[in-house]
Structure 1
Amino acid sequence: MSDATAAPAPKKGGKFKTIIIYGVGALVLLGGGVGGGIYAAGSGLVGSKAKHEESNKPRLVMKGEEGHEVPKIEESSAPDPSRFRATYYPMEQSFTSNLRDSDGFVQIGLGVSTYYDERVIENLKRNDMPVRSAVLMTLADQDSESITTNQGKKALQAALKKSINDVLKAKEGFGGIEDVYFTSFIIQ
């Protein structure tokens, strides 16, 4: 009897199996990475910051098509009134303020218009207190002689529009008020 044990037979295809295992593992990892990247990009976790920020801005609304919005028109360029639908909003309370360098006062009612979607009006409602403060400060800076003329009233409208848009830009990042209208105007 021999004490020697039989030597195991050499393994055939050992390198081939190792290469296949590593190849399949690499493909699984690569597929998982691609799938995870596609999921992250699609769900907004990666790469959609600029898109998400832009989608929060109000959009212009075409005339005759309720709710149809036109993308990517800058706020600084004036919208064409013949193409876009205006939304009007009357401010609920009137504004009363003393006039500069006189004993007189002015009481006005205001309405505004925008060619952008309902988010501008929602922003205006949400920021009613700072908007009212800006309007009152603008009114207090007027004198009784300048606002009695049509030219003075138009200048006041422009100043009020700027004041309101400045507040909305500071608070919401976007103005959007196109025009300011007087619904009542009393000077004493």
Structure 2
Amino acid sequence: MSKTEAPADGAPAPKKKGKLKPLLLFGVGGALLLGGGVGAGLYAAGAGGGGAHAEEKDVPKLVPKGEGEHKAESGEGGGGHESGGEGGEATAGAHGAPLTDAHPDPSKYEATYFAMEQPFTSNLQDSDGLIQVSLGVSTYYDGRVIDNLKRHEMPVRSAILMVLADQDPNVIGTPPGKKALQTALTKSINDVLRQKEGFGGIDDVYFSSFIVQ
């Protein structure tokens, strides 16, 4: 049995092998795991932010004064601009500015007017009387609102006729009755547009003719 020879005087003692590599590999592996975890976290955070941005609704925007995309297609009706509707949407306005009021400020934003081609005729509530009106609408949003109105003309006309048929003949001929009808018609149009497109945008309804018989 051979004996281990003692090292010569002044010679360094031999290093023990077998433990250094596992320790080194462990350190490198831990660093890789740590780096991968940080990278995955940063990627997830970035992906989350991008996803939130991508899911932002693309809705019509308010049109600032002087930047109107459409010329007026009709004159104002006899009802005047009493702002009887709920056209203003609580969403991003022009250049991303959020709206805080139910109606956009008319001094800041451009109104677009659109006349509905065919008049509306309906019986009145519990009466033999008839009402016939020609309507126009206004919006402070971009052209997509009027495009939506044209696209869904049939359900919009149906909703308008239902509102007209629900009017009291003793009230409809009075100024307060007409203003209340403006409010009801604006709401009915916006309800249809929200159902079909997720956004209303009609600010008011105008009467270009108004006949009760």
- Give yes or no for TM over 0.5: yes
Match of 1:73 in 2: 99
Match of 1:103 in 2: 128
Give the percent of matched residue pairs that are identical in Structure 1 and Structure 2.
Answer: 54
Distance 1:36 1:137 in 2: 54
2:118 aligned with 1:118: no
* Residues 110, 140 of structure 2: 8 Å contact kept: yes
Deviates more, 1:153-162 or 1:23-32: 23-32
Partner residue of 1:62 out of 61, 64, 69: 64
Partner residue of 1:52 out of 51, 55, 58: 55
TM-score, L = length of structure 2: 0.66
- Structure holding more helix per residue: 1
2:190 aligned with 1:165: yes
Distance 1:186 1:136 in 2: 15
The CA RMSD measured in Å over matched residues stands at: 3.0
Partner residue of 1:33 out of 36, 40, 44: 40
TM-score, L = length of structure 1: 0.74
2:95 aligned with 1:92: no
Distance 1:138 1:20 in 2: 76
The higher-RCO structure (CA 8 Å, 6+ apart) is: 2
Aligned residues: 175
Partner residue of 1:174 out of 195, 199, 211: 199
Match of 1:128 in 2: 153
Match of 1:187 in 2: 212
In the alignment, structure 1 segments of 5+ residues that lack a partner are 3-8
* Residues 60, 73 of structure 1: 8 Å contact kept: no
Distance 1:125 1:102 in 2: 32
Deviates more, 1:109-118 or 1:162-171: 162-171
Q: CA deviation at 1:136?
A: 0.2
In the alignment, structure 2 segments of 5+ residues that lack a partner are 3-15, 70-93
Task: Detail structure 1 runs of 4+ shifted over 6 Å in the superposition.
Answer: none
Q: What SS does structure 2 have at the residue aligned with 1:169?
A: helix
Residues 67-125 of structure 1, C-alpha deviation per residue, up to 9 Å, x if partnerless? 75452114x62221111111222223221112233333222221111122333323323
Structure 1 residue identity aligned to 2:66: G
Match of 1:22 in 2: 29
Q: What SS does structure 1 have at the residue aligned with 2:167?
A: coil
